[in-house]
Amino acid sequence: MIKALLLIFKSVPTWDRIAIAQRNWVFVLTRYLLPLLLLGCAAEGCGLAHWGKPRGKMAHVATLSIPQTILFEIAQLIVSLVVVWLGARLIRALGETFHGRHSFTQAFTVAAYGLSPLFFLRLLDAFPSVSPWVPWGIGIVLSAATLYHGLPRVMLPDPPHTFGLYLMSVVLLVMISGLACFLTTWYLEGRFTRLDAVISRFLPS
């Protein structure tokens, strides 16, 4: 969590330390990304169980049961990991189109640390009055700013291709994370009525 804040407020020296450390993707996943995601899921889960979110056509605030909350946060965690993994794969593929040779670890490091402002701001999802689009909007802007300093330091692209690789990477991450936010927001708003019915049938209230 501290490193996520440092990436927002002291981006350049923090990225320099990340680039020098050269941790493999398993280390980044287990020692940084998973704890950050679990913190966000725990905060959001507490909010959903105790305060709820506006749901249904009348947008009345309703809480989720504990089993529903746990299942939703597990799904949220999986979706977040998929966003990072897919983002890393696409960033690596983009690097190859710009005539670069990059490892999956480099691309995963960029995606995981670059999206950390977005994941950190999910703490705001604990509050019922905050739409999920607000943390996503602020978070993705901060992530784009963070990636501007981080991508060149970690992936070391050729200078003529640096901005193009950065711009395309940001566009793809915006699209992927935006789609994930859209799906989770629609579920919280009660738009997936059939899915709610299936979940309610198999889970205790």
- Cα(113)–Cα(151) distance, rounded to whole angstroms? 10
Q: Is the pLDDT at 31 greater than 90, yes or no? A: yes
pLDDT of residue 161: 86
Q: Say what the pTM is.
A: 0.90
Q: What is the dihedral of CA 87, 89, 94, 99, to 10 degrees?
A: 150
59-100 confidence digits (pLDDT tens): 567 677 788 888 889 999 999 999 999 999 999 999 888 766
Phi, psi (deg, nearest 5) at residue 50: -100, -35
> What pLDDT was estimated at residue 156?
87
Residue 166 clears pLDDT 80, i.e. is over it = yes
pLDDT confidence bin for 199, thresholds 50/70/90: low
Q: How confident is the model at residue 32 (pLDDT cuts 50, 70, 90)?
A: very high
The dihedral through the CA atoms of 192, 67, 119, 22 has a sign that is: negative
d(CA 171, CA 118): 15
pLDDT at 34 (0 to 100): 95
| Residue closest to 115 by CA, chosen among 80, 90, 167 | 80
Tokens 């959903």 belong to 48
Task: Name the pLDDT band for 160 (thresholds 50, 70, 90).
Answer: confident
**Per-residue confidence (pLDDT) for residue 58, from 0 to 100:** 56
Rounded mean pLDDT, 119-133:
90
